[in-house]
A and B are shown apart, each in its own frame.
Chain A
Amino acid sequence: MRARIRKLATIVDETHVEMGRDVSPPTRRAAAVAVIANPFAGRYEGDLEELMAIGEELGDLLGRRAVAALGIAPGQAESYGKAAIVGEGGELEHAAAILHPRLGKPLRAAVEKGAALVPSAKKMGGPGAPIDVPLGHKDAAYVRSHFDAMEVRLGDSPRAGEILVAVVVTDSGRPSPRIGGLTTDQVEGKDGLR
């Protein structure tokens, strides 16, 4: 691995009851998180290739770990999202270099298909900072029942010279969707939107 990983974490949240009503089967979201050393902490570096390569590695590692945490076959994944928090020794662009150029392809392989844009968020932050990872349906971004987010945080990360990277995969939408819009059974899955 090119990434120097200090820790990996997996968080699975299962919602069994929402507003007093049973949710059956429960909706499930899994976050796979890596805390890595930021090779460019403390200085301005023009060429961010190393972080792009790390992004490719983490798309594979975290995508597979999230799917495994749900105990599903890759094709059963329904929505996804990604995010990064850069410790204070780095800059926002370091998150962009990990998330955008190369992380998506191996993540899509881990969930089978994935015609839609992978929604993302990024920020600077210290240990314990939370990040809301936006979620959208993996094949059709306009599926309204799958617009969601998962808050992720680790108490000790990221330190100044670290980056926290999170990938979230679900096998379901929101627990109680009833605001209309495009539904999963209407998805064509060709253009990534509908």
Chain B
Amino acid sequence: MVINGIEIRKFATFVEEIFHEGGPVAATPLKVGAIAAVVRNPFAGRYVPEIAQLMEQLRPLGLEMSTRLAQALTGGDLSRIEGFGKGAIVGSAGELEHGALWHVPGGYAMRDLLGKAKAIVPSTKKVGPVGARLDVPVTHINASYVRGHFNAMEVGVSDAPRADEMVLVLVMTTGGRVHDRVGGLRASEVKGEDGLR
């Protein structure tokens, strides 16, 4: 599959539905989902000084992944998406900076799709072998300091990234941690003006 010149070998979608974690069963189960795209790294194997143009080229893929993930998580009901995060694993013939190209297209795709998401999208990245796992941080979509929504999801694809590939990841959640009880700013108290509180 090719989207705007980006060659995609595979998509993988993961959804966890969490009922409890040893405590009271949640009235509404928490859903945590991820989508990974395995794409060819056009810069693998050599140092390419000018790479920033790929950020623009990746935007349609970001939108496609955001849409697929929201569909898998809530059947496309965007109002139920409360947390997000993103990340990238670069195959061994690439460099860390290639993973950084995902910041803008991955982040803005989710923020645009979710309407007025104000918060920075937390992220992580690394160079890794086939089967490498990535812990993708998650925060509230409108206020980074909502304590109950600080979370992370471990994501990986067993046959990727090959040396000349990248695994690009988006994560969304439908709520905070299932037994959230360490205080701090609540989702119900969010002002939603500065993206922080």
Of the stretches A58-66, A69-77, A155-163, A172-180, the one at the interface is A172-180
Report Cα–Cα, A16/B183, bound state, in Å: 42
B151: CB under 8 A from chain A?
Answer: yes
Whether, in the assembled complex, A30 has its beta carbon less than 8 Å from a beta carbon of chain B, the answer is no
Which residue of A44, A151, A178 is within 8 Å of B49 (Cβ)? A178
Instruction: Please pick, from B23, B46, B125, B181, the residue contacting A147 in the complex, using a CB distance under 8 A.
Output: B125
Check A193–B196 contact: CB distance below 8 A.
yes
B45 to A: closest C-beta gap in Å: 9
A138 at the interface (CB under 8 A from B): no
**In whole angstroms, what is the CA distance A93 to B120 when docked?**
23
Query: Are A117 and B196 in contact, with the CB atoms below 8 A?
Result: yes
The reply to whether B100 and A174 form a contact with Cβ atoms under 8 Å apart is yes
Question: Quick check: B120 and A177 within 8 Å, CB to CB?
Answer: no
Are A178 and B179 neighbours in the complex by a CB distance under 8 Å? Answer: no
Q: How many residue pairs, one in A and one in B, have C-beta atoms under 8 Å apart?
A: 130
Known: A131-B135, A134-B137, A148-B96. A96 touches B180 (CB 8 A): yes
Instruction: For A48, list chain B residues within 8 Å (CB).
Output: 181-182
Flag whether B160 is at the interface (Cβ < 8 A): no
Does A108 reach chain B (CB closer than 8 Å)?
Answer: no
Flag if B21 contacts A100 (CB, 8 Å).
no
Complex CA gap A119/B135 in Å reads 12
Q: How far is the CB of B133 from chain A (nearest CB, A)?
A: 7
Query: With A148-B125, A178-B51 in contact, is A97–B150 under 8 Å at CB?
Result: no
Given A46-B181, A92-B177, A193-B196, A134:B96 Cβ within 8 A = no
> Could you give, for residues 74-114 of chain B, a 1 whenever the CB lies within 8 Å of some chain A CB and a 0 otherwise?
00000000000001000000011100110110000000000
A192: which B residues are within 8 A, CB to CB? 196
A21 interface contact, C-beta 8 A: yes
**Residue on B with the closest CB to A124?**
B21
Cβ contacts under 8 Å, A20 to chain B? 47
Secondary structure type dominating chain B contacts = loop
The 0/1 profile, CB within 8 Å of A marked 1, for residues 132-168 of chain B is 0111110000001101001110100000000000000
A121 interface residue (CB < 8 Å to B): yes
Size class of the B contact interface (CB-based, 8 Å): 35 or more
B26 at the interface (CB under 8 A from A): no
Whether A149 contacts B125 in the complex (CB less than 8 A), given A132-B134, A174-B100, comes out as: yes
> Looking at the complex, which one of A52, A122, A147 makes contact with B151 (CB distance below 8 Å)?
A122
CB of B152 within 8 A of CB of A123, answer yes
A84 CB, nearest partner CB in chain B, Å: 10
A141 at the interface (CB under 8 A from B): yes
**A-B contact list, 22 entries, CB within 8 Å:** A19-B47, A19-B95, A52-B182, A91-B23, A117-B196, A120-B137, A120-B150, A120-B152, A121-B124, A123-B154, A134-B123, A144-B100, A147-B100, A149-B123, A149-B126, A174-B97, A175-B96, A175-B97, A178-B50, A179-B52, A179-B104, A193-B196
Interface residues of B (CB under 8 A from A): 21-23, 46-47, 49-52, 55, 87, 95-97, 100-101, 103-104, 120, 122-126, 133-137, 144-145, 147, 150-152, 154, 177-184, 194-196
Ordered nearest first, which 10 A-B pairs have the shortest CB separation?
A149-B124, A121-B152, A132-B135, A19-B47, A19-B95, A134-B124, A121-B135, A121-B137, A44-B23, A91-B21
